Amino acid sequence: MSQVIGLLGTCLVLGVLARRSGKFPEGSAGPFNTFVLYVALPALVLRVMHRLEFVPSLLVAAVVPWLYYLAAGPFFRWLGPRLGLSKASIAALVLTGGLGNTAFVGLPMAEALLGSEGLAVAVVVDQLGSFLVLSTLATLAAARASAEVALPLGALARKVATFPPFVALVLALLLRPVGYPVWVDSVLERLGALLTPLALFSVGLQLRLSGVKARLPALSLGLLYKLVLVPGVVMLGLWALPGLSPMVVQATVLQAAMAPMVSAAILAAEHRLDPELAVLMVGVGIPLSFVTAPLMLWVVR
């Protein structure tokens, strides 16, 4: 856990310091965002989804991220206008509030708090849940929300089908019967490993905590949904299902309690969907989740 917190905190702070140094002009985060979405994330998807071993008994754990992402749309579209939020801000909340950081925070936290058995469940939540939602529904929602005019279904489908992480997902699944050469696996591993440091560095470049006060209503709504309501409802729902092992319940709730996904904030920024709010959701949400997520795990136990 200390290594995870150290890496995330260091990359975030380095981004903030880089912005304050004056060496990075306004808009410098753009190239980093592009690299994350078009190179690092596809490389990670190609490697991870190719190696995934799915256990049918963990279907419930895989479905949970899809459900709370789908619930995020009605939730924020209902309450957002009551806070005077624009459509772009609501879309940013749907993306960041509806997707959790189940990989780079969730997996190490699950291993630290639940051991290898909990980690196995957390991997399924991340790869068949969050990864797939990001590559499909979230990409579709971002394209639709950023379009100045209503896009026909065919155009939206093309945007999703040509989005590099989605292409990588399809290729990874098609290539599952074929083993990667060692050098290909090594290249994909090294490129994928760049995702977290570069994404958080980019978030730090864009993070302005001085803007928290002005964005407090929207930020509070988004973090209340992601850090409190989602894990709380997931907890109650899993308790109501018969036959689930305690470890499946605990690991799924822990993953549901993760902070907003860094890649979701990058996706929002790439589509000009209130990047400031999306970045604040990540920059404030990740430190908070180091307290709230273990607390949720303590409650479910």
For the domain that residue 220 is a member of, what is the CATH number?
1.20.1530.20
Number of folded domains in the chain?
1
Q: Quote the pLDDT of residue 149.
A: 56
pLDDT at 248 over 80: yes
**Domain range for 203:** 1-300
Find the mean pLDDT for residues 68-91. Answer: 96
Confidence (pLDDT) at 95: 96
Over range 233-242, report the average pLDDT.
93
- Whether the pLDDT of residue 283 is over 60: the answer is yes
Q: What is the pLDDT of residue 138?
A: 92
* DSSP-assigned states of every residue in the chain: -HHHHHHHHHHHHHHHHHHHHTSS-TTTHHHHHHHIIIIIHHHHHHHHHHH----GGGHHHHHHHHHHHHHHHHHHHHHTGGGT--HHHHHHHHHHHSSB-TTTTHHHHHHHHHHHHHHHHHHHIIIIIIHHHIIIIIHHHHHHHH-SSPPPHHHHHHHHHTSHHHHHHHHHHHTTTSPPPHHHHHHHHHHHHTHHHHHHHHHHHH--GGGHHHHHHHHHHHHHIIIIIHHHHHHHHHHHSTT--HHHHHHHHHHHTPPBPHHHHHHHHHTTS-HHHHHHHHHHHHHHHHHHHHHHHHHH-
Q: What is the pLDDT of residues 170-222, one digit of tens each?
A: 898 888 888 899 999 999 989 988 877 888 888 788 777 777 888 999 999 99
Mean pLDDT over each residue of the chain, to the nearest integer: 87
Query: What pLDDT sits at residue 227?
Result: 97
pTM: 0.82
Q: Minimum mean pLDDT among 28-37, 176-185, 230-239: which range?
A: 28-37
Q: Is the pLDDT at 272 greater than 70, yes or no?
A: yes
